[in-house]
Amino acid sequence: GDWAVVAETDDIAAEVTEAAADAPLAADDDFQRWTGEAGDPGILTAYVAPEAAELLADVAEVFGGFGSAFSGDTCLPPLGDDPFGDDPFSEDPFGGACDPFAGPTTGMSDQLAGLADDFAGAALTIRFDDGGLELEAAVGSADVEAASGVDDSGDDVVVTLPEDTAVAFGLGFEDGWFDAIAESADEVLGEGGLDAFLLMAEEETGLDLPDDLETLVGESAALALGGDADLTGFEEPEPPTDLELALKVEGDADDIGDLVDQLVRTSGDDSLATLLGYDADDDFVVAGPSSTYRASVLEDGGLGETDAYQDAVVNGDEAGAVLFVNFDAGPWLTGLPDLPGEVRDNLTPLRALGLSAWNDDGVGHAVLRVTTE
């Protein structure tokens, strides 16, 4: 068919055309591998070659100085009596003459260059499939699985949510997941990049971090929004006690409950006590402002068995992270008083949205799928 080469100059366009005639990209082994990893072809294909790692390293050089903003504890804003009331955009947010962007500009670029060395290639495809629009991506790195901190239990809790769930976001956590996240952060922020933040969080919450955080999120967790949720409730200064919002965690219910109680006691905040009201059984803990909705979420609601979920979420049983949005679950979205009529009309033909991400033998996969009525 017809095609065009678009370039900055005619000479570049001619050079690319001649090179493609001599050695077409379609015959390249890396191109074939990564476009194959991205699934069936569609209306758009994008490809990043392994050799692009050098370009990524050059980009890292441009942003190299950014790492110094987080690499030392001297540039953290000082905590006052009310740390959450302090204005981070004041004239002197760092409390002194500290320049968070001063210092060496090569440290972060060296670390990102190391990540680029592990880059094996990537591809992306957009296609129409069985009445839905799909975007599928695949990226290769020697550390993609180790650095994620997630396993294949991302939808373990999501599938147990009520059938009328409007929005669900789930994650599955492997043992020692925080260490994996911290190691990745160190590669970007510098050695011990999260230490200062953890220390500050410990002082504010009274928790022993990161151990208590790993206990709180359990083996798998999901945030759920009900189909009848009134989103205008988020504008209220206090969380409404009928707001259909809940966090469901699979883990040690007794230990999780003790930590939630500790958080509430340490904060002394009545609104947090409302937001983190919780119910539990042997396997799950559900926290949220509405006791009625918590009880509904605590049951095995069967969201994973619904047609809307199964059609939108690809490979959910192997995913480390899952997002599901059901546009037909109720008036949660279209009932917003300030929603423009054009947006409301555009939402009408949509049924659901699913996003899933998983790792497979050093290859990270992600699929975003939007389904229609």
Residue 372, pLDDT score: 94
Would you state the pLDDT for residue 43? 96
2 and 121 fall within a common domain: yes
Which of 94-98, 283-287, 342-346 is predicted with the least confidence, judged by mean pLDDT? 94-98
**Could you tell me which residues are beta bridge partners of residue 223?**
169, 247
Residues 117 and 7 in one domain: yes
Say yes or no: 286 and 317 in one domain.
yes
Same domain, 247 and 359: yes
Both 109 and 217 in a single domain? Answer: no
Are 47 and 155 in a shared domain?
no
Predicted local confidence at residue 67, as pLDDT: 45
CA dist., res. 61 & res. 110, Å (int) = 8
Q: Which of 139, 161, 189 is the last residue of a domain?
A: 139
**Do 237 and 157 belong to one domain?**
yes
pLDDT category of residue 171 using cuts at 50, 70 and 90: very high
72, 182: one domain: no
Answer yes or no: do 82 and 201 share one domain: no
Domain end among 139, 159, 174: 139
Residue 84 has pLDDT above 50, yes or no: no
Average pLDDT, the chain: 84
pLDDT tens digits for range 178-189: 887 877 776 666
Last residue of a domain, one of 122, 139, 156: 139
| pLDDT tens string 242-275 | 999 999 999 999 999 999 999 999 988 888 898 9
Q: Strands 363-372 and 132-141: what pairing? A: antiparallel
Q: Which of 18-32, 46-60, 207-221, 274-288 has the lowest mean pLDDT?
A: 46-60
Residue 73: what pLDDT?
Answer: 44
Give the model's confidence band at 191: pLDDT under 50 very low, under 70 low, under 90 confident, else very high.
low
Query: Quick one: what percent of the chain has pLDDT higher than 70?
Result: 79
Measured CA to CA, the distance from residue 304 to residue 217 in angstroms comes to: 21
CA gap 260, 247 in Å, rounded: 12
Question: Alpha-carbon torsion 156, 160, 163, 166, what sign?
Answer: negative
Q: Give the per-residue pLDDT at 126.
A: 98
Query: Is the model more confident about 110 or about 267?
Result: 267
Return the H-helix or E-strand segment holding 173: none
Q: What pLDDT, on a 0 to 100 scale, did the predictor assign at position 337?
A: 78
- Let me know whether 29 and 149 are in one domain: no
Q: Tell me how crowded residue 258 is: count the other CB atoms within 10 A of its CB.
A: 13
**What pLDDT is stored for residue 178 in this prediction?**
86
pLDDT band at 219 (very low <50, low <70, confident <90, very high): very high
Decide if pLDDT at 117 tops 80: no
Q: Which of 26-40, 228-242, 310-324 has the lowest mean pLDDT?
A: 228-242
How confident is the model at residue 373, as a pLDDT? Answer: 86
Alpha carbon separation from 287 to 132, 174, 284, 316 (Å, rounded): 34, 22, 10, 24
For residue 135, list its beta bridge partners: 126, 368
Specify whether 233 is located in the same domain as 189.
yes
| 373 exposure class (CB count in 10 Å sphere: 0-12, 13-18, 19+) | exposed
State residue 148's pLDDT score.
63
| pLDDT, tens only, 23-71 | 999 999 999 999 999 999 999 999 999 988 777 666 655 554 444 444 4
Nearest C-alpha neighbor of 221 from the set 171, 152, 277, 276: 171
pLDDT given for residue 315 in this prediction: 96
**Cis, peptide link before residue 210, omega less than 30° from 0:** yes
pLDDT of residue 142: 58
Averaged over 276-289, what is the pLDDT?
95
Q: Which residue has the higher pLDDT, 106 or 345?
A: 345
Residue ranges making up the domain that contains 292: 143-372
Q: How many domains does the chain have?
A: 2
**Exposed, middle or buried by CB within 10 Å (0-12, 13-18, 19+), for 185?**
middle
User: Does residue 177 share a domain with residue 92?
Assistant: no
Residue 112's pLDDT band, with cuts at 50, 70 and 90, is low
- Sorting pLDDT into bands at 50, 70 and 90, what band is 240? confident
At residue 232, the pLDDT reads 82
